[in-house]
């Protein structure tokens, strides 16, 4: 149907007869001469209908409207002097139409197909076939394609096999809420859609496949966010006979390959290494944005010499006092400070103490600090005149949580966060367990198949909760610009260790057997040491695109209520379907 693509008509085609097809991006009817910008995936080119070349064709051109699909035959020529469009790659040429055909018409549009459309998301998703015509979205999908291709190429080169795992699988305890699928042939029983192919990929290792990968859909029935969809894609990998260092090295090379191939960006520096403890101490979270500094400092040992009751009481109860220095923010108004205070209170802090460093220290609380103490605090924070010192005093986790969010907020306010900068970090030495206060039991921080560190195995077999809380995991997260883009671990490959793990998680042998028996059996039949990692593809591509939302890199995303405005899924089903499945509805009003 065509000899050229619209965006690829160039000066070298001048004089030749070509045939192109595409959508009418814009038409300009001057009465005498009609211009149409014809668009296909490759770009735009201007076509000209002039009465001099063909009266009938020129007349018919008046019928064309936006988004009509047309086919054009004509000759390429240089545009007349003074009419070159510098802002268009094809702006030096135009196609003089000799023949054209309307291949399809288009009803009036619900919104303009245009990169800077400001149509609402729900309208765009309802007519996603129009929304996806916008070059800016196509660019994202193209980058996503290049990214997955680069992953596949790299992994293929490293001897990884792409192996599919079941989508209809088994519900497992722990983790997110499952999406369930009823089984018609087993009334009353349900499949679950996988939250990840975790167990299957481990079984592939036991089976001797040695290197597995899959770019695979995962499902979690939890509430949505700008960076969270109920179905999302992981680059999922598992390797046998490796340690965590070897895995991290491989992943680092892979990521650099992908950034170079898909984005043309060379990541030169080595990924930063942080232990979990370092990350928490210095940034208050396990996914710090390393594009800026503003590190936190623990000042508990200093403020214990003050007379500020809030701090002293917190310390007495086993809490801590940490602080951060806002560079150049000593001029903050009462309202600015109130806003910041409200922000941290939203995350559980009781308040935010502040001290401005001007010629003197300025704050309602300076009177509680003896001479010299404030200098020591200032020194520890690396603060100087003109800065604002902000303090949170609370339990360790609340303090860290609030200050890490405050740190990100200050990073934004001080405009320290630049796009097109990629700061990677590995976070390692995670605790194996996280204490669940509600249920009074340990939960796996990563997942229940994560191996404890060799040197902590002794603790692993001790009975007291305090020892157990000190066990570190052979787990590692990969962080990019303050976003967790992936994580993995060395897995448990010995049955007795896995049994012990379930025991510590409060999962009885019987339950473990019914839920994970097939994995436990496999571990008992010559399971090799193995480990792996999964990367969140959507989030990664989102960062690479500079997109604000994960929905901008997914062709058919769901709304915050986990619905699809295009297909209207989910929807009710017929009584017959329910009957076949043995399902009766009991909807709470």
Partner RNA sequence: GGGGUGGUAGUUCAGCUGGUUAGAACGCCGGCCUGUCACGUCGGAGGUCGCGGGUUCGAGUCCCGUCCACCCCGCCA
Residue ranges in contact with RNA by CB under 7 A: 26, 28-33, 35, 37, 46, 48, 50-52, 65-66, 79-80, 82-85, 87-88, 91, 94, 108-112, 117-123, 174-177, 195-196, 198, 220, 222-228, 346-347, 434, 443-448, 549, 551, 559-561, 563, 565
Report the nearest approach of RNA to the CB of residue 224 (Å).
7
Q: Which is nearer to RNA, 223 or 458 (CB)?
A: 223
Helix (H, G, I), strand (E, B) or coil at 116: coil
Smallest distance, Å, CB 458 to RNA? 23
Q: How far is the CB of 151 from RNA (least distance, A)?
A: 20
Measured from the CB of residue 81, what is the shortest distance to RNA in angstroms? 9
The residues, ordered by sequence, that sit 6+ positions from 401 with a Cβ below 8 Å of its Cβ are 284, 285, 347, 348
Name the residue nearer to RNA (CB basis): 347 or 461.
Answer: 347
Question: How many Cβ atoms sit within 10 Å of the Cβ of residue 215?
Answer: 16
Q: Closer to RNA by CB, 350 or 376: give it.
A: 350
Buried b (16+ CB within 10 A) or exposed e, 463-500: eeeeebeebbbbbbbbbbbbebbbbbbbbbbebebbbb
Q: Whose Cβ is closer to RNA: residue 576's or residue 588's?
A: 588
Give the integer Cα–Cα distance in Å for 286 and 397: 12
Write down the number of H helices and E strands in the chain: 18, 22
Distance in angstroms (rounded) separating the CA atoms of residues 67 and 109: 8
Shortest distance, position 461 Cβ to RNA, whole Å? 22
Q: How far is the CB of 30 from RNA (least distance, A)?
A: 4
**Smallest distance, Å, CB 476 to RNA?**
14
- Residue reference for tokens 């995962």: 218
Structure tokens at 330: 């000593």
CB of residue 33 to RNA, shortest distance in Å: 4
176 or 555, CB closer to RNA?
A: 176
Spatial distance between the Cα atoms of 483 and 535, rounded to a whole number of angstroms = 12
Q: Rounded to a whole number, what is the distance in angstroms from the first to the last CA of the chain?
A: 56
3-state SS of 365-434?
CHHHCCCCHHHHHHHHHCCCCCCEEEEEEECHHHHHHHHHHHHHHHHHHCCCCCCCCCCEEEEECCECEE
Residue nearer to RNA on the CB measure, 171 or 300 = 171
Choose between 357 and 554: whose C-beta lies nearer to RNA: 554
Q: Are strands 475-480 and 161-162 parallel, antiparallel or unpaired?
A: unpaired
Tell me the C-alpha distance between 114 and 511, whole Å.
Answer: 55
Closer CB to RNA, 22 or 378, in the complex:
22
Residue 268 CB, shortest distance to RNA, in Å, is 31
The least distance separating RNA from the CB of residue 5, rounded to whole angstroms, comes to 18
Of 31 and 526, nearer to RNA (C-beta) is 31
Closest by CA position to 95, among listed 134, 62, 61 = 61
* CA 236 – CA 259 distance, rounded (Å): 18
- Please report how close the Cβ of residue 205 comes to RNA at its closest, in angstroms: 15
* Helix, strand or coil, per DSSP, at residue 3: coil
Largest interatomic CA distance in the chain: 93
Residue 551: CB minimum distance to RNA, A: 7
Beta bridge partner(s), residue 101: 71
CA dihedral 539, 545, 551, 555 (to 10 degrees): -110
Cα torsion 58, 62, 65, 68: sign: negative
């Amino acid at each position: 149907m065509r000899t050229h693509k619209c965006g690829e008509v160039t000066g070298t085609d001048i004089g030749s007869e070509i045939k192109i097809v595409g959508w009418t991006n814009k038409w300009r009817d001057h009465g005498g001469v009609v211009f149409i910008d014809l668009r296909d995936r490759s770009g735009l080119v201007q076509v000209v209908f002039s009465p001099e070349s063909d009266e009938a064709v020129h007349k018919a051109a008046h019928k064309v409207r936006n988004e009509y699909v047309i086919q054009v035959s004509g000759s390429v020529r240089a545009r007349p002097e003074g009419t070159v469009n510098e802002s268009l790659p094809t702006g030096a040429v135009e196609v003089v139409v000799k023949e054209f055909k309307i291949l399809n018409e288009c009803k009036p549009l619900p919104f303009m197909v245009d990169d800077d459309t400001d149509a609402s998301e729900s309208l765009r998703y309802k007519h996603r076939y129009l929304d996806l015509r916008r070059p800016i979205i196509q660019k994202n999908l193209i980058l996503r394609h290049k990214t997955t291709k680069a992953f596949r190429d790299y992994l293929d080169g490293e001897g990884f096999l792409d192996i599919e795992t079941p989508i209809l699988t088994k519900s497992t305890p722990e983790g997110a809420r499952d999406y369930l699928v009823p089984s018609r042939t087993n009334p009353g029983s349900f499949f679950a859609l996988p939250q990840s192919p975790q167990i299957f990929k481990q079984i592939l290792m036991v089976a001797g496949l040695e290197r597995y990968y899959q770019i695979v859909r995962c499902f979690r029935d939890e509430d949505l966010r700008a960076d969270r969809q109920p179905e999302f894609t992981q680059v999922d990998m598992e390797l046998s006979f490796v340690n965590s260092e070897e895995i991290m090295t491989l992943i680092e090379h892979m990521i650099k390959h992908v950034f170079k191939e898909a984005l043309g960006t060379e990541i030169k520096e080595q990924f930063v290494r942080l232990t979990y403890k370092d990350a928490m101490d210095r940034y208050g979270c396990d996914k710090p944005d390393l594009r800026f500094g503003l590190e936190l400092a623990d000042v508990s040992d200093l403020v214990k010499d003050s007379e500020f009751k809030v701090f002293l009481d917190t310390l007495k109860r086993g809490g801590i006092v940490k602080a951060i220095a806002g560079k150049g923010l000593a001029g903050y108004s009462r309202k600015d400070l109130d806003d910041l205070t409200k922000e941290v209170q939203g995350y559980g802090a009781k308040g935010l103490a502040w001290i401005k460093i001007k010629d003197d220290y300025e704050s309602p609380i300076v009177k509680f600090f003896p001479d010299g103490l404030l200098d020591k605090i200032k020194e520890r924070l690396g603060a100087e005149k003109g800065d604002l010192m902000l303090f949170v005093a609370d339990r360790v986790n609340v303090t860290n949580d609030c200050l890490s969010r405050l740190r990100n907020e200050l990073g934004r306010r001080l405009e320290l966060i630049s796009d097109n900068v990629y700061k990677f970090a590995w976070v390692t030495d995670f605790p194996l367990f996280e204490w669940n206060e509600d249920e009074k039991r340990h939960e796996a921080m990563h997942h229940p198949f994560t191996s404890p560190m060799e040197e902590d195995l002794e603790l692993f077999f001790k009975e007291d909760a305090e020892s157990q809380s000190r066990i570190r995991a052979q787990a590692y997260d990969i962080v990019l610009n303050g976003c967790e883009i992936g994580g993995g671990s060395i897995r448990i490959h010995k049955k007795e260790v896995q049994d012990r793990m379930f025991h510590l998680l409060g999962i009885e042998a019987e339950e473990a057997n019914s839920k994970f028996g097939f994995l436990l059996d496999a571990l008992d039949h010559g399971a090799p040491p193995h480990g792996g990692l999964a990367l969140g593809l959507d989030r990664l591509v989102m960062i690479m695109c500079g997109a604000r939302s994960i929905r901008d890199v997914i062709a058919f995303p769901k709304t915050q209520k986990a619905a699809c405005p295009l297909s209207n899924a989910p929807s009710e089903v017929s009584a017959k379907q329910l009957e076949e499945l043995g399902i009766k509805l009991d909807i709470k009003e």
